[in-house]
Amino acid sequence: MTEQTKITALDNGPYLVKGPVVVTDAEGNEFRVERETIALCRCGGSTTKPFCDGTHSKAGFRAAERAVREEEEGQG
């Protein structure tokens, strides 16, 4: 069975990506990934983009609301 990749959005922090992944830039150049779990910047302030360097905590980054569950979408 092939290992599944999982992406988790941390509260006011990066996306954690666990599992096999290839990270490329807009031109298709690959970033070297040596760990099983990587953190991708979502605040835009990292000096090591696309990877997180912890700047979100210094910059006071606040993430958008959480994803809406399917059963909640039709209610309101």
For 32-76, write each residue's pLDDT tens digit. Answer: 998 999 999 999 999 999 999 999 999 999 988 777 777 655 555
CATH number of 1-76: 3.40.5.90
The tens digit of pLDDT for each residue in 21-30 reads 999 999 999 9
Check residue 69 and give its pLDDT.
73
Comparing 33 with 1, which gets the higher pLDDT? Answer: 33
* Domain chopping of the chain, boundaries: 1-76
Burial track 39-75 (b if 16+ CB lie within 10 A, e otherwise): bbbbbeebeeebebeebbeeeebeeeeeeeeeeeeee
